[in-house]
Each structure stands twice: as structure tokens, then as C-alpha cells.
Amino acid sequence: MRLAKYLALTGCCSRRAATRMIRDGQVVIDDRLANHIDTVTLIDTPNGQQCQEVLYVNGNRVSTVETKAYWLFNKAVGTDSRLLAHLPNSLLHLLPESPRLYPVGRLDKDSRGLLLLTNDGELTHQLMHPDFGHIKTYHVKVDRPFNNDFLQQMAAGVSYKDITTRPCKISRLTEDSYQIILTQGLNRQIRRMSQALGFKVIDLKRVSIQSLSLGDLPEGQRRQLTDSELTTLQQSLGHTCLDI
């Protein structure tokens, strides 16, 4: 198995992050720096499946492949999605020590709503890679009422800096709020699209990711995905098994 894929399966990080860490010299395999063509050999142990090789990431020994876990979390405004222990408002402090969970993508500190938490690096790769174009739905309130021209311009794609966003689906909720469905995840995309058209976002809530919906999950709380939710998500990603 390719080294980056194995690191993702252990829950250490996503496959993309593993590739970056290998490139940057942060991964050691059998007392040498790893490279992107390295592979590992899987063996079964009493503690689970692991590789024969000795692996370290940033000086930490890589453990066995964890049992996969999938949780939904309703993030509040002010919670920082970065898993940084020195930040008192980091999402890290709201997560269990085991299994190690990571958010699939981020919501900026000023936004709220649905996060998917998992240690499944392959699923994370499928959902985050821009080529897959998976959908995310948001409810957005801006600082004043808007007309239908605003909706049409947002739907067609908005240019800011050196970026033009992909066309998207958008519909009115109230005189000053809308629902938007995106297939890309640029940094602060909705805020910058709205700002380019003269509006300031004052509330942004993610309500769904692919087939997963926030529903009535209380703010600041998390719950495990049901079997049917996980199966539907897997099917929507075009595959039916996330195991090795």
C-alpha cells in the first residue's frame, strides 16, 4: 500500500496532508526520510492492522489503523476549527481523546453549523479534493435586503481578486437571507462573493454536506452517524466500502 494512503488510514491525517508531509521531510520510514513512492506492508496484530515498517511523523510513532469513526458536530460561532492545543477556543478541546477525530474541511471562526468529524483519511480525501465537486449547503444572512439581480450574479459566478467562482445554485429565504449550494470550497468564499457585490455577511450557517444534514442537532453538540447515513454518504461518493 502507498505510504500516504496508509497514513490516512491510521487516522494520522488526510491523504493530501500525508503527501505534503512526505514532501516536506516530516515522515521517517525505517530510519530514513520517506519519499512519495514508498510503500508499506500490512500485517495483522492483536491491536489491529499495521505496517511492518517503523514510521514516524513529526517525531511521533504512527500507531495501528484505528477503527473508523464518523460524527456530526454543530459548530458554534467562535469555535476555531484548527486543532491547535494552545488555542482556548480550538475544536480540539471539544473532541474525545480516542478515537482521534479530524474535521473534514473547516468553517471559519465566524461561521457556524455542520462539521463532519472522522479519522477516515480516505473519506476525507474524497470529500475535500476539488476534482470531486461534492455539494455543501449554507444559509446566509447579509446586512441588508437584496434584489433578484444579486441572486443571478451569485449564481453565475463572482469575480474577486484573481478568482472567478464556479456557477452555483442559490435561492431566496427572506428579504436579506439566502440558501447557497456550492461545489467548491475556496477560503471564505461566500463572504468574499457577497462582499464583491456590495453586501456583508452577518450570519453564515452550513446546514448540509453531501447527503448529511444538520437537522436538530444542538449547537456545540456532536453525534455519531447512523448506519444508514454512512451508507448513503458512501454511495453518494461513488463507492460502497471505505475499508482497506
Sign of the CA dihedral 80, 217, 233, 119? positive
Pairing of strands 136-142, 177-182: antiparallel
Q: For residue 26, count CB atoms less than 10 angstroms from its CB and return exposed for 0-12, middle for 13-18, buried for 19 or more.
A: middle
**From 30, 108, 110, 120, the catalytic residue:** 108
Compute the distance between CA of residue 62 and CA of residue 83 in angstroms, rounded to an integer.
18
Using alpha carbons only, give the angle 73, 209, 106 rounded to the nearest 5 degrees.
Answer: 60
Residue 103 CA to residue 239 CA, distance in Å, equals 21
Judge contact between 75 and 43, C-beta under 8 A: no
For cell 477560503, the residue is: 187
Query: What does each C-alpha distance from 221 to 27, 72, 124, 148 come to in angstroms?
Result: 34, 8, 21, 36
Q: Using N-to-C axis directions, what is the helix angle for 121-128 and 15-23, rounded to 10°?
A: 90
> How far, in Å, CA of 36 to CA of 72, rounded?
32
Nearest C-alpha neighbor of 95 from the set 191, 241, 243, 222: 222
- What's the CA gap between 169 and 160, in Å, rounded? 19
Active site annotation includes 108: yes
Terminal-to-terminal C-alpha distance of the chain: 9
Active-site annotation, residues: 108
